[in-house]
Amino acid sequence: MNGVNDLPQKILLQSEDHAKLLNVIDSLRSAGIGRYVHLPQLIVCGDQSSGKSSVLEAVSGIRFPTKENLCTRFATELVLRRGNEEKPKVEIIPGSERPDDEKQKLKAFSAPIADVADVPNVIEAAKTAMGLDKDARSISDDILRVEICGPHQSHLTLVDLPGHRMLPMISSLVNSYMKNRRSIILAVVSAKNDLANQIITKLARNHDPKGLRTLGIITKPDTLHRGSENEKSFVDLASNEDIVFRLGWHVLRNRDYQTRDSTAEERDEKEKEFFSEGAWTSLPPSILGIGALKPRLSAILRDQIISELPDLRKDVEEGIKTCERTLERVGPSRSTVNEQWLHLIRISQLFTSLVQASIDGVHRLRAVVSNILGELASDMRKKGHKRTILDDDSTPDDSAFPQQIRRDEFTSEVHALMKRSKGRELPGTFNPLIIGDLFYEQASQWEQIILGYAERILDATQQFLKLTLAYCADDTTQQAVQMEIIAPAMESCTDTLKKKILEILQPHKKGHPITYNHYFIDNVQKIREKRNKRDTETCLRDFFALGNFDGNRRIGKDFSLNNLLAALFRQTEQDMDRYAASEAICYMEAYYKVAMKTVVDNFAVLAIEQCILKKLPLIFNPEVVTNLDDKTLEAIAAETTESKVERSHALEKLKFLSPALQNLKRLAFRRGGHYSDVIRVKGSI
């Protein structure tokens, strides 16, 4: 199967449809759409003197000027259409890099053409209009468009590229066309030269590695000696056995020096005679001569256009969306104060709505802040205390963080501290101030931890504001708003936040502990019960001489309950002074748990929520913009040259792409769905 060529005749395009199909694509190309999206096209490529001009002459019946080899200077678009009378037309499509005045001058190029014989002279005049007659080494990105209409023409459009030479400008131009995945490459090779020395096949392979969109054309076969190995090698090449292309190969015999003045009819007759004898008769007639090449090229171009229509339309639609996004980002023109004010108001409204949505949890900022606060709560539980108090039977790990200490050792430290600061308290009691001293030391890590998490939240907030502003405004306005409005506002928020953090931490750094939280008493009771249970277990283990305490273990009846009671009482009486130290630790631990939860909650609610999150929608809202003075407004919202150029380019591109999309939409459903049928069937092949 060879794609569309093998489709049932009922869904193949008729001549009128074929012409309309090509005309739409040609209109897109002549309008300059090719600068923005790749268009389906046939491009004629070959080394210098490979016979490209002769191929064009054979296809069109028009003599192209060969003096100085004009076609090596710029791309030539050859448009052939079938019509009742011959109507040659030559025009120039200016390159995108030309100034506007030069573009208008080239677009206005006109020269009288009575018949096709005048075309070579008009082409020379076009060369002069492009300024190429002044510098023989120059290469132009202008396109010369030659349109020929006549009763014997095929529906065909070719783009002839400069003959490849070892010149960077020519290589760049040729490669730019060949890399277009919608280009069908017509690789012209001359039988007069060694194939290995002709770079065009290598270039074709570079840009079309699988050979899916390349048709090879062999010229000058009459220069080969009949029966020679060289002739055999080119016959094999034409048979698609040496260098394999999906579209295969074609062979043309063009005019030589002796027959240079012959007519097109004489040229065609001579070609038929040449292919009717010798080694070339082994090849199918469908790949020999200009008579077979014209319909072959027409079918290839038609199939390529039809198969690429869906993706071409997608590219145009994406180009339109890109333009619309650009125009939305740079905004309308803003040369006056009022335009600048409206521009900034629009940005601030969008910015504020996005920020508010993020704070409300619609977008990610709220989730990021919540996750960070969750990590803070976890870190405060695990690492907020200066020292971890272990049971007496545990062994401290010297490398652990926070530092570990056994409870009996910590009790001894507290006992010693209480002895040094003993006041009027009775034995077994303690000065309430000792709780504060123990707590402040145990909570001495809090400030460092909380400030670290505050920095993380500020960094996340700054990043969020930066990304949000980048979405709402162009780069220049974004930078100005960031510097003039957001940065000062965030600096103020940061100062307020740090003051609030110090305010929250202040009661937990000095003074005396205060709480009316009932969980404090609950914590005291739980810690005391745990301590009493641990002490009782120790006493019972010693009394019964047990290796370890097992509550389910049964003990014999040879023990005196009075002795047991005395042992328990003696334990309490002997540890009276340490009991007070243990009680102080118990109260400190209970207060620490309550205070830690309070600090974490206050940091989240009073610091982060009130000092940062609730202020974010206010830092760049419309009211802020309204209060800006004219000088600041201009500094922020005045349009840069880059923005003007970006808007201009987007508008220009949109001017081309919008009508192009309408044409493509109409084309897809023209003539009772023929094109849609062909696309659908081809996609299933």
Question: What confidence tens digit (pLDDT) does each residue in 180-232 have?
Answer: 999 999 999 999 988 888 889 899 999 999 999 999 999 999 999 999 999 99
**Which domains does the chain possess?**
40-288 (3.40.50.300), 343-637 (no CATH)
Chain centre to alpha carbon of residue 210: 28
Higher pLDDT, 577 or 469: 469
User: CA 444, CA 221: separation in Å to the nearest integer?
Assistant: 95
Q: Packing angle between helix 670-683 and helix 641-668, nearest 10 degrees?
A: 100
CA atoms within 13 A on the CB side of 564: 12
Instruction: State the pLDDT confidence band at 292, using cuts at 50, 70 and 90.
Output: very high
Most confident of 401-410, 513-522, 545-554, 668-677: 401-410
For range 307-321, the mean pLDDT:
92
Angle at CA 504, nearest 5°, toward 460 and 352?
Answer: 35
For range 34-63, the mean pLDDT:
86
Model confidence pLDDT, tens digit, residues 435-489: 888 999 999 999 999 999 999 999 999 999 999 999 998 888 899 999 999 999 9
Cβ proximity of 37 and 320 under 8 Å: no
Instruction: Note the pLDDT of residue 12.
Output: 38
Of the candidates 75, 80, 63, which has an alpha carbon nearest to the alpha carbon of residue 118?
Answer: 63
Higher pLDDT, 563 or 611: 611
Q: Kindly tell me if the per-residue pLDDT of 116 is higher than 80.
A: no
SS3 553: coil
The alpha-carbon radius of gyration of the chain (Å, integer) is: 44
Token pair in block for residue 363: 């977008």
Instruction: State the pLDDT confidence band at 670, using cuts at 50, 70 and 90.
Output: low
Residue with tokens 């097992």: 550
Most confident of 38-42, 373-377, 585-589: 373-377
Instruction: State the pLDDT confidence band at 664, using cuts at 50, 70 and 90.
Output: confident
Instruction: Note the pLDDT of residue 548.
Output: 67
Higher pLDDT, 408 or 607: 607
Percent of the chain with pLDDT over 90: 37
Instruction: Note the pLDDT of residue 651.
Output: 92
Instruction: Note the pLDDT of residue 5.
Output: 41
Q: What is the 3-state secondary structure (H, E, C) of 125-177?
A: HHHHHHCCCCCCCCCCCCEEEEEEEECCCCCEEEEECCCECCCHHHHHHHHHH
Cβ proximity of 52 and 46 under 8 Å: yes
Instruction: Note the pLDDT of residue 16.
Output: 65
Q: In the predicted model, what is the mean pLDDT of the chain?
A: 83
Q: Kindly tell me if the per-residue pLDDT of 170 is higher than 60.
A: yes
Token pair in block for residue 24: 């739409």
User: CA 306, CA 303: separation in Å to the nearest integer?
Assistant: 5
Instruction: State the pLDDT confidence band at 164, using cuts at 50, 70 and 90.
Output: low
CA distances from 154 to 7, 254, 682 (A): 21, 19, 23
One-letter amino acid at 103 equals: K
Instruction: Note the pLDDT of residue 487.
Output: 95
Higher pLDDT, 2 or 501: 501
Instruction: State the pLDDT confidence band at 491, using cuts at 50, 70 and 90.
Output: very high
For range 56-66, the mean pLDDT:
78
Cβ proximity of 330 and 436 under 8 Å: no
Instruction: Note the pLDDT of residue 221.
Output: 95
CA atoms within 13 A on the CB side of 151: 2
User: CA 408, CA 390: separation in Å to the nearest integer?
Assistant: 9
Q: Kindly tell me if the per-residue pLDDT of 283 is higher than 90.
A: yes
User: CA 659, CA 81: separation in Å to the nearest integer?
Assistant: 23
